[in-house]
Structure 1
Amino acid sequence: MSVTSQSFQERTQYLAAVDRLAASHVLHGSESLCKLLRYLADHSLQNPGVPVKEYQIATEVLGRPSDFDPHLDSTIRVQAGRLRAKLGEYYSSEGESDPVLVELPKGSYTLSFHTRTIPTKASSAELREEKQTPNRTWQMLLNWSAAVVGLSLLLAAGMALLVVRWENRNRAASVMARNSAPSAYRTFWKGFVSGPAEPWVVFSNAAFVGRPETGMRYRNPAQDSNAVILDHYTGVGEVLAVHELDRAFHLLNREVRVKRGSLFSLDDAKNNNLIFVGSPAENLSLRDIPMNEQFVFQRLTSGARKGDLVIANLHAGAGEPEYFIGTPTNLPMNEDYALVALIRGLNPTESVLMLAGTSTMGTQAAVEYVCHEDSLTQLLSRLNVPPNGDLKPFEVVLHVKVARGVPVESEIVALRSEGVK
């Protein structure tokens, strides 16, 4: 209840409770919350029954100007919510045995003080009496204990049987759900859903320097060794790609684990199936894993397109270009190129799939290509993989048409595979 009147002793007790709160580990370093707590406590004790307004708190505690408008600025409500949460945290930990409970009811800025009754230790007379009674009840407790143990064993056996049946039923349901997915999905993703662990989806997040408000650029190790690295940005295509992969694996009744490239380690790669989203230009973890042998991402070192990212055709066939290169970066994008490549993992029993474009739009297109039934069917046909057959390592280059920042059409323009001559 809120304080309406209090004796000098009660007031002293309440203020001591506030002091303990302000000095607690929970509020350590939260100067603004401590200031708010003391202000609300003083107001509640000096003006019992008189509510305090947001405007008062803003101008008298937080130093807001006189034109402060609580309808436009939610700072006070946010601070009150934080204080309310801290009070709950305190009384569930270090303040568990405090004799006074301080509360800030929701929708109010008036503190409530409650005196709590703390259980006391039993008197010596009660302890002597307790020592005399066990002998009379000991045999009864033994009988009850035997009955409880027997019943517990029966319950444990029953629960074990139920768990086994539930796991078998769940496993059967999982297999049925997976079998209900389109045939092309089951064939292409078979190696990624049949293992004991969920595959890793590793999306690119390149290292940048600079600030969003003044401009950012890729980090150059040669000249930015002391610059602050920003590694928490990724492309729009990568975001949509992860969502698309999650949808595809949901159809296969399988979860995926997602991690950004800067946090990925070779330990993660040893015994897991991996799906890399984004090229080595931004997904830097790809540089530590042996990948493609036919098509690789490179930056041009000369010519009018110097510095642009391309897919280099290391063993160009008849009529194939040396490089696959999209729209110049200074023009609106209308085409891109992407690579879909499957190789064996560091552990030969695992697989690594790279889905990447020379831009974020190409990356999105590569993922969509292997997550849509019609394009998957076309790819499996080009790879000569029969239904439920096994995929062999392959590398495929896609030409991607882009309209208004969205990949709208993809087609295979180059293919290398152990199963295709």
Structure 2
Amino acid sequence: MLSDEKKLILCENIIKTELFQKAPKSSALLKYLVKATLAGDFLKEDIIDLEFFGDKSISDKNNPRVRVNVYNLRKKIELYYKTDGQDIQWRLIIDKGQYSVRFEKLTPNTSTLEKIKLKNVIPYLLLVALSIIFIFSNLKPEPPVVWESFFKNKKATTLIVGDVFGMTGKTITNNEGWTRDFSINSTEDYYAFMENNSELKEIIKPANYTYITSMGVIAVQHVAKLFYDLNSNFGIRFSSHISVDDLKNGNLIYVGQYINNTKLTSLFNNFNPYFKITNQHLIVSGHPNLKDTIYTTYFGKESEDFSIVSRFKGPENNECFIFFSNHDMGVKATIEHFTDNEFLKKFNKEHMAEKDNFTAIYQVYGKDRTNLGLKSILVVPF
């Protein structure tokens, strides 16, 4: 077995060769893929595009940049083992159609199998192959209960990542730049504001781009791992690019803030029987066994975040899974837990024995917007 340290040394030896010294992008990409593989990161085309190339357009499936660069890298590795690395026993391999890296030890050319007459072996090999195919075709991975209908209702799933609207123009330092106003969260908000502040029309205007935080990347990684393990796919959109019709045309997962995403808060309010979000409050009312309560969704501390997780049926009986919080920390913590099998087994046993949907409230603790702990405040199945 080759240790991670020796795998990194093999990678560095390849990069030091003249072949790779003349190809800095291939060298950097190889180092990135090796380190991500050893770290256990889930490597997918849109994640590589976002993390390595720094492109926010993770939903653009027509951009061949990742595939082209990995193809070129694979060819250089093959050339390396035909030249400088022909005597290397351990080989670094990126399989076709894959992005993770594996290491394979060369075996001698002769073996016991080569001494056996092929015509006598073929029938048995075919029988074994057919048996394996039959067994694996009948072994379908079972999704966690709270995610089950996403994989069984045959509707396409879209992950909606919350992004932030902004404006360009004069900033507080009197320079040109990008600026954010929490009361202006769309072009509609901007033009409504300008109706009463027309003198600012020459100073600021809607930016032609938005931004996302590290929350979006982490959420994509966790959801991608869940769907990959269950042999399923999903699409990715930014919240600023969705319409009301998009909320009913398939299953959806939303990760992000709620204060600047009125379409998603309206969806939550309309299809949750006991919960409503308004300004900085979450209202619980009408439940047969719970007292009507108003929760303040803002703790006033950077080390704490208020997070709402809800799974419910949407307008066309589509599945909706919502991860709301004020800041990154709440979504990071809850998406991590609700894609973890051990957490979900316990959650299902405690809360989902008789109901299909739920809304849960959590208090998240952390530092520098990194979650360090999760406290359950309320879980209401329905």
| 1:298 equivalent in alignment to 2:256 | no
- 2:236 is paired with a residue whose SS is strand
Paired with 2:306 and 2:259, the residues of 1 have a C-alpha distance of 14
SS of the residue aligned with 2:333?
A: helix
**SS of equivalent residue, structure 2 residue 193:** coil
Q: Do 1:337 and 1:398's aligned partners in 2 also have CA atoms closer than 8 Å?
A: yes
Match of residue 223 from structure 1: 193
* Alignment partner, residue 207 of structure 1: 165
Q: Which residue of 2 aligns with 1:236?
A: 214
How much has 1:339 moved relative to structure 2?
0.8
For residue 402 of structure 1, the aligned residue among 353, 366, 376 is 366
* Aligned position for 1:259: 237
Structure 1 residue 288, shift from structure 2 partner: 5.0
User: Contact 1:357/1:366 (CA < 8 Å) preserved in 2?
Assistant: no
1:309-320 equivalent positions in 2, closer than 5 A: 309-314=280-285
Partner residue, 2:377: 413
Hey, what does 1:380 align to over in structure 2? Answer: 348
- Once the two structures are aligned, what percentage of the paired residues are identical? 17
In 2 relative to 1, CA 325–193 (structure 1 residues): closer, same or farther, beyond 3 Å? same
Give the 5 Å matches for 1:184-199.
185-199=143-157
Q: Could you say which residue in structure 2 is the equivalent of 1:270? A: 248
Q: Quick one: which amino acid aligns to residue 219 of structure 2?
A: A
| Counterpart in the other structure of 1:322 | 294
Provide closer, same or farther for how the CA distance between residues 268 and 383 of structure 1 changes in structure 2, counting only shifts above 3 A: same
Match 1:337 to one of 306, 318, 326: 306
SS of the aligned residue for 1:223 comes to helix
1:19-168 matches, within 5 Å, as none
Superposed displacement of residue 319, structure 1 = 8.3
Residue 341 of structure 1, CA deviation: 0.9
Q: Based on CA coordinates, which of the two structures has the bigger radius of gyration?
A: 1
Once residues 170 and 210 of structure 1 are traced to their aligned partners in structure 2, the CA distance between those partners, rounded to angstroms, is 58
**How many angstroms apart in 1 are the aligned matches of 2:162 and 2:349?**
30
What is the CA–CA distance in structure 1 between the aligned matches of 2:278 and 2:341, rounded to whole Å? 31
The count of residues paired between Structure 1 and Structure 2 equals: 228
Q: Tell me how far 1:395 sits from its aligned partner.
A: 0.9
Determine if contact 1:271/1:347 at 8 Å carries over to the other structure. yes
> Take 1:278 and 1:270, find their aligned partners in 2: how far apart are those partners?
19
Report the 3-state secondary structure (helix = DSSP H, G, I; strand = E; otherwise coil) of the residue aligned with 1:362: helix
| One-letter code aligned to 1:223 | F
Superposed displacement of residue 399, structure 1 = 1.5
**Equivalent residues of 1:277, 1:283 under 8 A apart:** no
TM-score of the superposed pair, with normalisation by structure 1: 0.48
Q: Answer yes or no: is 1:178 the counterpart of 2:136.
A: no
Aligned-residue Cα RMSD (Å) equals 3.1
Report the AA paired with residue 376 of structure 1. Answer: L
The answer for unaligned runs of 5 or more in structure 2 is 1-131, 172-176, 196-200
Q: 1:235 to 1:262 in 2, by over 3 A?
A: same
Distance 1:171 1:229 in 2: 57
- In structure 1, what is the equivalent of residue 334 of structure 2? 366
Q: What's 1:152 paired with? A: none
**Residue 89 of structure 2: aligned partner:** none
Equivalent-residue separation in structure 2 for 1:173 and 1:224 (angstroms): 61
2-structure distance, mates of 1:392, 1:233: 34
Find the counterpart in structure 2 of residue 346 from structure 1.
Answer: 315
Q: Distance in 1 between matches of 2:215 and 2:281?
A: 17
Alpha-carbon distance in 1 for matches of 2:134, 2:158 = 22
- What is the rounded CA distance, in whole Å, between the counterparts of 1:260 and 1:197 in structure 2? 19
Distance in 2 separating the partners of 1:320 and 1:402: 29
Report the CA distance shift for 1:287/1:400 in structure 2 as closer, same or farther (over 3 A): closer
Letter of the 2:320 counterpart: V
Check 1:187–1:269 CA distance in 2 against 1; reply closer, same or farther (3 A cut). Answer: same
Unaligned runs of 5+ in 1: 1-168, 180-184, 300-308
Cα deviation, residue 173, structure 1: 5.1
Partners of 2:345 and 2:240 lie apart in 1 by 33
Q: Is the 8 A contact 2:328 2:369 kept in 1?
A: no
Number of the residue aligned with 1:160: none
Contact 2:330 2:364 in 1 (8 A): yes
